[in-house]
Structure 1
Amino acid sequence: MRQNEIAKKYSLALFELGKEENKLTEFREQLEIITNTIEENTDLKKMLFHPLITPEDKKKILQELFSSAVSDEILNFLKILLEKRREKYIRAILNDFTALMNKENGILEVEVISAVELSAELKDKLEQKLINLSGYKIILKERVSPDIIGGLILKIGDQVIDGSIRHDLELLMDRIIEIPVSELGV
């Protein structure tokens, strides 16, 4: 099973439980606390991802760390991840869980990558166009990346729409490379 399929399976199970218990926001916030704590603490991360440390030892440490900060449901979920040795998927599970929550609430998160910061007017136009196309409330997350040269890259879930000049130049280069030398008049 591929990494994102594994994460989706676990996030869906937790999402269904959260929905049933009316605790979606609480679960997402607690998953975020755990994920951020792990990612910000190098020693904790090394311990958690070390293959020779048993799941039981990992559970004891995480029980100590998080028992007062998260619900029993999230703590039990974390223990299941440890038992199944799926701890490396915690960030992907949080991302998938958030996407499921957003979908449930009619929200679509779109990452917009541009070479320069977009003007407020352009952001508004892009947001309105995406609302009209999708019917969802849009959350734009902007990132500036000068190496795309110009244009935009939109990331919507697993889909990428690459309208960057860099991408166009790469496609042009591929087409030039495919031209036989005899056709170049050399």
Structure 2
Amino acid sequence: MSELRAAARYAKAVMEYAQEQKQLEQAEQDMILIRETLAENRDLRTVLNSPVIKGSDKQAILEGLFKKASKTTLNLFALLEENKRIGLLDEVAGQFIQLYEELKGQDVASVLTAVPLTEALEQKILKQLKVITGKDVTLNNEIDPNMIGGFVLRVGDLEYNASLDGKLAHLKRTLVQK
């Protein structure tokens, strides 16, 4: 099973559990904090993805870092550790946030860039997305340092690829066809 599909399944399970426990808003805040913490801390990402470090140690680290997390989030840590999928935590948190925004009736767009977006650029993108979709949209900025330049924007089933990688791939297809 692909990592993204697995993360989506975990996120959906967490969403259902949080709804049952009436902890949706707290779970969302936890997931936002997890995403921010992992984005800012390369060492933590390395630890979570390390095959050398025991899963129980990884779980203990997460529980220590997120002491004020909800029961739902702590159960997620335990579940991921039990299934040896704790390295998926960032993806699960991202998927959860997207599901929660959809539940609230907001569209969620993800933009893949080589570097983080500036606040001004993020506001321009949000303004344009509101024109296109007619709705308020939440923007999720994913960073891919391997990307040459440009961006890939996804909203629902729509994708706009303005990356240099995409343009080079298109050029290659065009040249091969001729």
Is TM-score (shorter-chain normalized) higher than 0.5?
Answer: yes
Question: Aligned-pair distance for 1:51?
Answer: 1.7
C-alpha distance in 2, partners of 1:60/1:122?
39
Is the 1:28–1:98 contact (alpha carbons within 8 Å) kept by the matching residues of 2? yes
State percent identity of aligned pairs. 25
1:127 aligns with 2:130: yes
Corresponding residue for residue 34 of structure 2:
34
C-alpha distance in 1, partners of 2:107/2:31?
20
- Count how many residue pairs are aligned between Structure 1 and Structure 2: 167
Structure 2 unaligned blocks of 5 or more: 114-119
Letter in 1 for 2:9: K
C-alpha distance in 1, partners of 2:165/2:39?
32
Structure 1 unaligned blocks of 5 or more: 180-186
Corresponding residue for residue 46 of structure 1:
46
104-113 vs 4-13, which deviates more? 104-113
C-alpha distance in 2, partners of 1:88/1:177?
39
Question: Aligned-pair distance for 1:23?
Answer: 1.8
Is the 1:106–1:137 contact (alpha carbons within 8 Å) kept by the matching residues of 2? no
1:97/1:178 Cα in 2 relative to 1: closer, same or farther (>3 Å)?
A: same
Letter in 2 for 1:84: N
Is the 1:127–1:140 contact (alpha carbons within 8 Å) kept by the matching residues of 2? no
C-alpha distance in 1, partners of 2:22/2:61?
28
SS at match of 1:4: helix
Corresponding residue for residue 161 of structure 1:
160
CA RMSD of aligned residues (A): 3.7
Is the 2:38–2:44 contact (alpha carbons within 8 Å) kept by the matching residues of 1? yes
Task: Please list the CA deviations of residues 58-99 of structure 1 after superposition, one character each: whole Å capped at 9, or x if unmatched.
Answer: 3333333333x2122211211211121111111111111111
1:90-105 alignment to 2 at 5 Å? 90-105=89-104
1:77-92 alignment to 2 at 5 Å? 77-92=76-91
The alignment's TM-score, normalised by the length of structure 1, stands at 0.68
1:52/1:100 Cα in 2 relative to 1: closer, same or farther (>3 Å)?
A: same
